Structure 1
């Protein structure tokens, strides 16, 4: 019996163990991100005369990023004025490569001079300077509602009862009408050379500077006129 002998080739493999390149070290960058956000808040609230304080910066998870210089870009709504609660994104880049998009929650407190009552003020009372004071109060969530200067409130009438030491909102006071509907008035028209006046009757009420409807009792026509004082209105001539 013949045997078929096949040549046996032995392939010797030399296995070379390649050591992996050491990974780039990562370091904690949270403090850097906090400083970037603090700078943003200061820029947004500059020149406002307010006391602004960051109460809380919330960053979810560990913020480990590679060594080396990193550029940060904060994505914030243009309408955000720099206070209140806001969620922002911080983009971390290294050599134009985006490393991470970091969601951040900011809670920023804002204190500003606001008008407060120095005593109890009843509904319908005409408010004087002695009734008011300026104090630093938190305006984080209602900055547009509160009166910011005493001049905004003095001479106006309380639309509701105001407690002592209460911040005054613009909608809690109203201008006092100098002329009331149904009142007899003097209608004046002048152009620097000629002045004409006739008797009229107010058909609406208004404070100084308001435009009200009045009736010329000579012609019986109703016309718009500007309130000058408690008995006089002016029309275009």
Structure 2
């Protein structure tokens, strides 16, 4: 029968390995500062979407060195800070070291939906929309959060009543049609000149459209109203 004392080295080795694992995977004060900084950064970015913000930041890899003077930034600055997001962090005084963390951001807030079925080609007005409240992170990636973004635009497809709005479902209402006779205004510091021409393509407010004049000259002007364009000097 083996002596019980022969198992002691194995038990001691196992205990040492367990303590080493705990030491390696235990978050350090530097990790805490990094997580706190990223959490505060995401809260600042997301709080404009709603009143209640819930953020979960996944801890950094245990194999990375501490991040000194963390400076968080968004890897996709053009996207709303909702749902799963990637956060870059510059480390060190000069920010030469960069690492990336993953986080989940949930925001309870208001968003517009179709108040009734909307047919393609319909110009969007206040009466066609209503407000819902919920977790904005569960909406489609291109969801519209501010109805002002689509007011005056035209629905490209049928929108079902109660459905969230998505940016790709709309287009700017054309103020200029292809082949239409338009007025082009050129204005400078001390002069203002208007000419009549033919639009060679359609365009909505703020879009640039080519115009051909009777003498065959071509210019590109900005749509500023119904059949009206402007050129700045």
Give TM-score scaled by structure 2 length.
0.61
Aligned residue in 1 for 2:10: none
Looking at structure 2, the residues matched to 149 and 86 of structure 1 have their Cα atoms a distance apart, in angstroms, of 21
1:158 corresponds to 2:155: yes
Looking at structure 1, the residues matched to 230 and 170 of structure 2 have their Cα atoms a distance apart, in angstroms, of 26
Deviations 1:2-31 (A, max 9, x none): xxxxxxxxxxxxxxxxxxxxx99x9xx89x
Cα offset for 1:163? 1.0
Change in Cα spacing, 1:78 to 1:141, as seen in structure 2 (3 Å) is farther
* Structure 1 moving runs of 4+ over 4 Å: 36-40, 54-58, 72-78, 80-83, 85-88, 104-108, 141-144
1:235 corresponds to 2:231: yes
Looking at structure 2, the residues matched to 118 and 77 of structure 1 have their Cα atoms a distance apart, in angstroms, of 39
Looking at structure 1, the residues matched to 118 and 183 of structure 2 have their Cα atoms a distance apart, in angstroms, of 34
Aligned pairs (5 A) from 1:81-230 = 84-85=83-84, 107-140=104-137, 145-217=142-214, 219-230=215-226
Cα offset for 1:83? 5.5
- The gaps in structure 1 that reach 5 residues or longer are 1-22, 59-71, 89-103
Give TM-score scaled by structure 1 length.
0.60
Q: How many residues align?
A: 184
Looking at structure 2, the residues matched to 106 and 235 of structure 1 have their Cα atoms a distance apart, in angstroms, of 46
Looking at structure 2, the residues matched to 110 and 47 of structure 1 have their Cα atoms a distance apart, in angstroms, of 11
Q: Secondary structure at the match of 1:46?
A: helix
Looking at structure 2, the residues matched to 156 and 176 of structure 1 have their Cα atoms a distance apart, in angstroms, of 5
Cα offset for 1:233? 1.6
- The gaps in structure 2 that reach 5 residues or longer are 1-15, 60-65, 88-100
1:46 to 44, 47, 56: 44
Q: Secondary structure at the match of 1:213?
A: strand
Looking at structure 2, the residues matched to 183 and 86 of structure 1 have their Cα atoms a distance apart, in angstroms, of 46
Q: Is the 8 A contact 1:187 1:216 kept in 2?
A: no
Q: RMSD value over aligned CA atoms? A: 4.2
Change in Cα spacing, 1:166 to 1:221, as seen in structure 2 (3 Å) is same
